[in-house]
Chains A and B, each alone.
Chain A
Amino acid sequence: GENVEQHPSTLSVQEGDSAVIKCTYSDSASNYFPWYKQELGKRPQLIIDIRSNVGEKKDQRIAVTLNKTAKHFSLHITETQPEDSAVYFCAATDSGGYQKVTFGTGTKLQVIP
């Protein structure tokens, strides 16, 4: 099955700086890579996703990049704000017929005002 690794486990940045979170996956047939944000005590929420037919996607201050050859993908947050503080999870789909979603272990991002 799919295995997703995520780094770093914790990340502290100054407000206004950029934050980068990296993930690798094992199944070369995976074709969908979402990112979820989980604030303390709340549900994970989808913030951005990318499919294997594109290399980069942007949504305001958030961008994701995908390198299929190397089997890694990254989340980039620019101009970080205190409300960006949360745990971020990357995920990848299994190549099985029903698209099981496997999550990374999470990155706890702290934005220091």
Chain B
Amino acid sequence: NAGVMQNPRHLVRRRGQEARLRCSPMKGHSHVYWYRQLPEEGLKFMVYLQKENIIDESGMPKERFSAEFPKEGPSILRIQQVVRGDSAAYFCASSPPTQNEKLFFGSGTQLSVL
């Protein structure tokens, strides 16, 4: 059973470009969470999704950020018109339907904005 898969591992974008981060949950997991981690800081909740539904997006910035988890395919975190302050590690986690508090993390995507 493959773990949570995130790609790319590293993503470099220039200011104003778009960043797309992908996350495939573990097999059988139906819940996906996105967290952002700045250097030397903790894990900040961004959004929680189930298939085709956003359950909680209270941690998402109001502008430029969006997330989806379609019926088929990976979850996508999309950042439009990136700025230098978006540079961070973005971690995806998934959890099984019966124990949705147990998070299994992917290896993260390190986004660098030039």
24 CB contacts below 8 A, A to B, read A32-B101, A34-B103, A36-B105, A43-B105, A43-B107, A44-B103, A46-B104, A49-B102, A89-B42, A89-B43, A93-B101, A98-B48, A98-B100, A101-B33, A101-B45, A101-B103, A102-B45, A103-B43, A103-B44, A103-B45, A104-B42, A105-B41, A105-B42, A106-B41
By a CB distance below 8 angstroms, the chain A residues around B108 are 43
Chain A interface residue bracket vs B: 20 to 34
Chain B proximity of A24: nearest CB distance (Å): 15
Q: Which of B31, B48, B91, B101 has the most CB of A within 10 A?
A: B101
Would you list which residues of chain A between 2 and 41 have a CB under 8 Å from chain B?
6, 32, 34, 36
Quick check: is A113 within 8 A (CB to CB) of the other chain? no
A104 to B43, alpha carbons, bound, how many Å? Answer: 8
Quick check: is B18 within 8 A (CB to CB) of the other chain? no
Fill in one digit per residue for B48-59: 1 if any A CB lies within 8 Å of its CB, else 0: 100000011010
B interface residue numbers (CB < 8 A to A): 31, 33, 35, 41-45, 48, 55-56, 58, 91, 100-108
A40 to B66, alpha carbons, bound, how many Å? Answer: 28
Complex contact A98–B55 (CB within 8 A): yes
Would you list which residues of chain A between 60 and 113 have a CB under 8 Å from chain B?
89, 93, 96, 98-106
A100 to B54, alpha carbons, bound, how many Å? Answer: 13
A106 to B37, alpha carbons, bound, how many Å? Answer: 11
Residue ID in chain B nearest A93 by CB atoms:
B101
Residue ID in chain B nearest A103 by CB atoms:
B43
Complex contact B103–A98 (CB within 8 A): no
Chain A proximity of B71: nearest CB distance (Å): 19
